A and B are shown apart, each in its own frame.
Chain A
Amino acid sequence: DVVMTQTPVSLSVSLGGQVSISCRSSQSLVHNNGNTYLSWYLQKPGQSPQLLIYKVSNRFSGISDRFSGSGSGTDLTLKISRVEPDDLGVYYCGQGTQYPFTFGSGTKLEIK
């Protein structure tokens, strides 16, 4: 199985600040068809995860442009700019390139 390693485990940021979350995979996430199926999710307290970014850098419908994804191969990053109170929660990366799909262990974002 592809192992997804997320760092940091937690971080604290001031409102209006910027943070980056790293996700590294144990194997390349480039599919045979050339696409890279790496997604980012946010799970707010007491809620189901919600999709933020798919295929590395594509924002899902209704997602603010404060969220951006980048990277390639095995090294992917989520950047959140101008952090707002509603951004708190646990962020997960997830790969859909190889079965079984796997997820990172999560990064908890706290607001200072």
Chain B
Amino acid sequence: QVQLQQSGAELAKPGSSVKISCKASGYTFTSYDISWIKQTTGQGLEYIGYINTGSGGTYYNEKFKGKATLTVDKSSSTAFMQLSSLTPEDTAVYYCARSTYGFAYWGQGTLVTVSS
């Protein structure tokens, strides 16, 4: 069955970076884009962008340009999202999701907490 397994919770200091992973299994990795979504209590669900897992091509929501960098390692069927120059406003749960007509499969989420 399709599974997206994300890396564990992160506690980071302001100004630092974190890199979250999303390992896919149960399907042909390069056949579907992987999207990333931010969830906070205040802002709800926000779409960060996606990566074409075959070509490595990316799209970023304007709001997250310069904040998020999406990459992929086809050999391990893993997608990554690096968040840089972290501020307390980046504290959130981040999800990866497989994109088709909707987000049919989601990872379990990675909590990133930014605090000094």
Q: A residues bordering B, Cβ < 8 Å? A: 37, 39, 41, 48-51, 53-55, 58, 60, 92, 94, 96, 99-106
CA distance A55 to B100 in the complex (A): 11
A contact residues around B49 at 8 Å (CB): 100
Q: Are B106 and A101 in contact (CB under 8 A)?
A: no
Nearest chain A CB to B93's CB is how many angstroms away? 9
- The dominant DSSP class at the B interface is strand
A contact residues around B59 at 8 Å (CB): 99
Q: Are A48 and B45 in contact (CB under 8 A)?
A: no
Residue of B46, B62, B99, B109 near A48 (CB, 8 A) is: B109
Add 14 more A-B contacts to A54-B101, A101-B47 (CB < 8 A). Answer: A39-B103, A48-B95, A48-B106, A49-B103, A51-B104, A54-B100, A55-B102, A60-B104, A94-B102, A94-B103, A101-B35, A104-B44, A105-B44, A106-B44
Q: Which B67-116 residues sit within 8 Å CB-CB of chain A?
A: 95, 99-109
Interface residues on B, range: 20 to 34
Enumerate 8 A-B pairs (CB-CB under 8 Å) in ascending A order: A41-B102, A41-B103, A50-B106, A92-B44, A94-B102, A101-B35, A103-B44, A103-B45
